[in-house]
Amino acid sequence: MLNRRKVVLVGAGMVGMSFAYSALNQALCDELVLIDIDKKRAQGEAMDLNHGVAFASGSMKVYAGDYGDCSDADVVVICAGVSQKPGESRLELLQRNTAVFRSIIGPIIHSGFGGIFLVATNPVDIMTRVTYELSGFNASRVFGTGTTLDTARLRYLLGEYFSVDPRNMHAYVIGEHGDSEFVPWSQAMLATKSVLDICEQSGGKFCVEEMQRLSNEVRDAAQKIIEAKKATYYGIGMSLVRIVRAVLSDENSVLTVSARLRGEYGQKEVYAGVPCIVNRNGVDRVLELMLTPEEQQKFDDSCAILRENYEGLEL
Ligand code: NAD
């Protein structure tokens, strides 16, 4: 068949399978391959999903495979990782996840894979940079989920606050996917009107403090979910489907993925969440917003944290 869209998922855990389940329900591709170090788990997950194919909106070939299956894939989504051991530092965890990625990226490259890498494993900005370094691919073809989900949560909350469809709220969470992420309010719009102007002209109905509270809620959301149910996976699974669709359908959509900066925002080499135009080429362009000096300082601080974490790693 012509133009068969093939996606390989590496890491069939909670996040990976939430992605796979949404992918099947949304008929994202024609072929979905599941790979996990636990082969039996990948096989069981493929069987389980296959039993639902009859009820899905499109047909999809789902099977457990191996790295050779990446040779003709369009996108490889990486959700594999190990979790933090008690008493383990963030850097030690990073080091172990880097070893996991070394065991994954090498065989994928060896298969002759010529598509796009999309990374969800945390800390996502660092693991995406590790993927870039290990793969030797052009940076446009290696990117991470970044602040895509945070941005979606923010737009939803702002939509509620202003009683406006979230699709008409244009605001971004940028920087590290983590504690130092922030919202550049000077660039947040309701349609084409600045939310700062709306606050100023609202006679006290809307205010920056309340919007800031909403963005703090976004930043702390994952932690709250983890406290309640130990892990987060549905939201990120659906974000992954959204991003892969932008690639497979050559959409030129603006998404705040984790991209390698090459001078944009005055930063180089670091991977961070920024609005990007995503299409068949991966990150086709990074959109550079006009930040205020205070916002630029926050962005620089966030990138400094990411750089410091990466530089502590042994690749
Ligand atoms: P999980 O433990 O359920 O799944 C991880 C899977 O990776 C397991 O099935 C495991 O067998 C597999 N794996 C481990 N080592 C492997 C290797 N060497 N090769 C192949 N597979 C291997 O964890 P999860 O809840 O699915 O989370 C996965 C990752 O996603 C974590 O790093 C988590 O922090 C991250 N995450 C990211 C976001 C985001 O916004 N980017 C959100 C939630 C979770």
CB contact set of 85 (below 8 Å; sequence gap of 6+): 93
pTM of the model: 0.97
Answer yes or no: is pLDDT of 1 > 80. Answer: no
> Could you tell which of 36, 220, 256 is best to mutate to test the pocket of ligand 1, judged by most ligand atoms within 8 Å of the CB?
36
Per-residue pLDDT tens digits for 215-269: 999 999 999 999 999 999 999 999 999 999 999 999 999 999 999 999 999 999 9
CB atoms < 10 A from the CB of 104, how many? 23
Going from the Cα of 263 to the center of ligand 1, the distance in angstroms, rounded, reads 31
Query: Given this model, what pLDDT does residue 95 score?
Result: 93
Residues with C-beta less than 6 Å from any ligand 1 atom: 10-16, 36-38, 41, 79-83, 100, 103-104, 120-122, 124, 145, 149, 177, 231-233, 236
In this chain, the answer to whether the domains covering 6-144 and 148-311 adopt an identical fold is no
Contact 170, 198 (CB under 8 A): no
User: Using CA atoms, how far apart are residues 250 and 252, in angstroms rounded to an integer?
Assistant: 6
Does 177 qualify as catalytic in the annotation? yes
Which residue ranges make up each domain of the chain? 6-144, 148-311
> Could you tell which of 8, 19, 37 is best to mutate to test the pocket of ligand 1, judged by most ligand atoms within 8 Å of the CB?
37
Amino acid making up residue 61: K
Per-residue pLDDT tens digits for 172-212: 999 999 999 999 999 999 999 999 999 999 999 999 999 99
For domain 148-311, give the fold.
L-2-Hydroxyisocaproate Dehydrogenase; Chain A, domain 2 (3.90.110)
User: Using CA atoms, how far apart are residues 257 and 146, in angstroms rounded to an integer?
Assistant: 4
For domain 6-144, give the fold.
Rossmann fold (3.40.50)
User: Using CA atoms, how far apart are residues 302 and 176, in angstroms rounded to an integer?
Assistant: 6
